[in-house]
Chains A and B, each alone.
Chain A
Amino acid sequence: MAIIETLGLDKETVVRISLFHEHVARHLIEIPQIDDGRPQVQWHLRVATSYLKAARTAFLYDFERAERLVIRAVNHFLEAEIPFGLFLASAYTKHRSPSELLFRSDAGMWLGKIVNHMRELEQIGKEETRKMEGRDPSTPSPIPFPLQYQVQRLYLGLAMAGYREVCTEYAQDLRILLAHLLPYGALPIGPQSLPLDVYLAWLRILLVNHTGSAEVQSYTDTIMIEEGPAEAEEVIRRLEPMALAYARNVTTARSNSYLWKSLRAPVDLIDLDYCGITNFVMRMGFEPGVIQKLAMQRDWPMEARSVLDLATDWVPRRDQEPGNTLDFS
């Protein structure tokens, strides 16, 4: 059954609403809000949000269009220096070599800044101790403020860990980032407001599977994670919180048929985090059929399985298509 039917939506309305949001984004682009000679971050976010709304509805009926819209949103997120854009780019780009794109992007520099910042903070902590002994502490060098948010740091980590070449190149810094994020596990994140810990598990899985090492490093400790590379069973178990939260939120939203039918329900029709992470999973070499079968065996609701099918079939299908020149740099 097509996902549009599973969700009980009318295709004509879905197409119209997707076009509407795209037109709104284009309208906003015509009236940029400038501050100090540069477009405001808030303006970039408004445009990006409209493109993402258009993309989420487009995923229900036209993949090509949806991917194009995501990449347009990505350009605005990246202009605003928001790493979430890099996560979307990494998950949804159709470029023949996403790793190459990531190497060319600001990702490495951003990660370096975060790790350096953390290092400096730790150093200051030590200097605070020295201050008590009569010495002045230094102050950390400034860091772009989007990079100060734990959630943005996580999206950056996922974007980079999603591809083996990038993950291997930056493994050391990614391990430090993972260790740094561990204490923030309860922070709500993403369209379903799940604990950050659910996402962090994916950062760990990607790191372990791509680099073969189950080592997580902070400055003071090296933590060995007992689990080895994730198998299909663990993949589905780790995806389950996202899948079930999505299904529950969609089911709840459908109870208000006025908002649901007019596509104004306060829930993402397609959870781009859930789909994006599933994309990364498929790139680790899992068979779509195996993952889909396991979801069925675990009695996932139809809504969750429809989106999983959409996302798992995506990477193999896209890899068969000719590469295009869509770029996010």
Chain B
Amino acid sequence: MYVQWCVKGISGGVDGINDSDAQDMLWRGGIQCSWWRRVGKITPLGIRQKLTQANLSLHVNNYAVIRHDTPFISLAAGCMERDSGLQTNHLHGALETALDFATDGGLHNGYIFYCWTIVGLHRAAGVEGVSERVGELNVYRSYSAYQTEGEVTAKVYIPCNQIERFEKWSGDGKGLVSFVSGCSNPGFDPPEQLSNIRSHF
């Protein structure tokens, strides 16, 4: 397993969040999956039933169907297309992808959360503790069509102490996006404390 820094874009549009929601997520609530947000209360058994390969496939390939009921959380980690920039030349940055989703291409405001998550090396849709690098061609070959989003898929919940900060961006409705403000998290736990390097006594 490894620690992956990611960016999460959340809409600040009509159905999205506002400044107060964003601050609450950063300092207290963390980022919940849309299934949890919709039903209000979830159970361990419910989580077991939701975390399936089939639901992950729907989340990645047919989001419109599962958008209000998904136990997964899409994060952007950036992507060197086809894993080699010099072969096909395109580098999709995490910020660009998250901004696009958060502001709907500059249509409205959006919030960008910078967080880290633990990613497994193999497919493990049912294991709640690790995120899936669905854009990794060597792991998720069948999902390669969506690789350019550079997606890492977290599960159920990202605790607030794994979120370093958020940025608010404005969209003018015509495609122009501008940085508005940022807010950091005093309770953030840096991932370095999970380092597997131990010093001698």
A interface, CB within 8 angstroms of B: 13, 15-24, 27-28, 41-42, 45-46, 48-50, 52, 77, 82, 84, 145-146, 149, 151-152, 188-191, 193, 256-259, 262-264, 266
Contacts and interface: CB of A to CB of B under 8 A. Distances in A.
B106 A20 contact: yes
B86 A20 contact: no
Contacts of B128: none
Nearest to A87: B89
B187 interface: no
A190 B90 CA distance: 10
Chain A contact residues: helix, strand, loop or mixed = helix
CB-CB nearest 6 A-B residue pairs: A19-B175, A258-B64, A45-B91, A20-B106, A20-B175, A20-B105
Contacts of B107: 16
B120 interface: no
Contact of A266 (B86, B89, B146): B146
A84 B145 contact: no
Contacts of B80: 45
Contacts of A13: 105
A146 B86 contact: yes
Given A19-B175, A256-B61, A256-B62, A190 B88 contact: yes
Contacts of A52: 90
A23 to B, nearest CB: 5
B160 to A, nearest CB: 26
Contact of A16 (B84, B95, B99, B105): B105
A190 B171 CA distance: 32
A151 B149 CA distance: 23
A19 B90 CA distance: 19
Nearest to A45: B91
Contacts of B171: 20
Contacts of B147: 266
Contacts of B95: 24
A17 B149 contact: no
B91 A149 contact: no
Given A20-B177, A48-B90, A50-B96, 18 more contacts: A16-B173, A16-B175, A17-B175, A20-B99, A20-B105, A20-B171, A21-B96, A22-B175, A27-B177, A45-B80, A46-B93, A49-B89, A49-B90, A49-B92, A49-B96, A152-B86, A264-B100, A266-B148
8 contacts: A45-B89, A49-B89, A52-B90, A82-B89, A256-B62, A257-B64, A263-B105, A266-B147
A114 to B, nearest CB: 14
Interface band, chain B: 35 or more
Contacts of B101: 264
Contacts of A77: 89
A266 B145 contact: yes
B60 to A, nearest CB: 11
Contacts of A24: 95-96, 99-100, 177
A45 B99 contact: no
B103 interface: yes
B140 interface: no
Contacts of B64: 256-258
Contacts of B106: 16-17, 19-20, 23
B174 A16 contact: yes
A18 B175 CA distance: 7
B63 interface: yes
A145 B85 CA distance: 12
A304 B87 CA distance: 25
A84 B89 contact: yes
Contacts of B164: none
Contact of A20 (B89, B100, B146, B148): B100
Interface in B53-92: 61-64, 80, 82, 84-92
A46 B91 contact: yes
B63 A258 contact: yes
Contacts of B63: 258-259
Contacts of A259: 63
A127 B101 CA distance: 57
Q: Which of A49, A52, A146 has the most CB of B within 10 A?
A: A49
Nearest to B97: A264
Given A20-B100, A257-B64, A149 B87 contact: yes
B176 interface: yes
Nearest to B104: A262
A77 B171 CA distance: 28
A248 to B, nearest CB: 12
Nearest to A264: B100
A24 B87 CA distance: 23
B89 A23 contact: no
Contacts of B176: 19-20, 23
A140 to B, nearest CB: 19
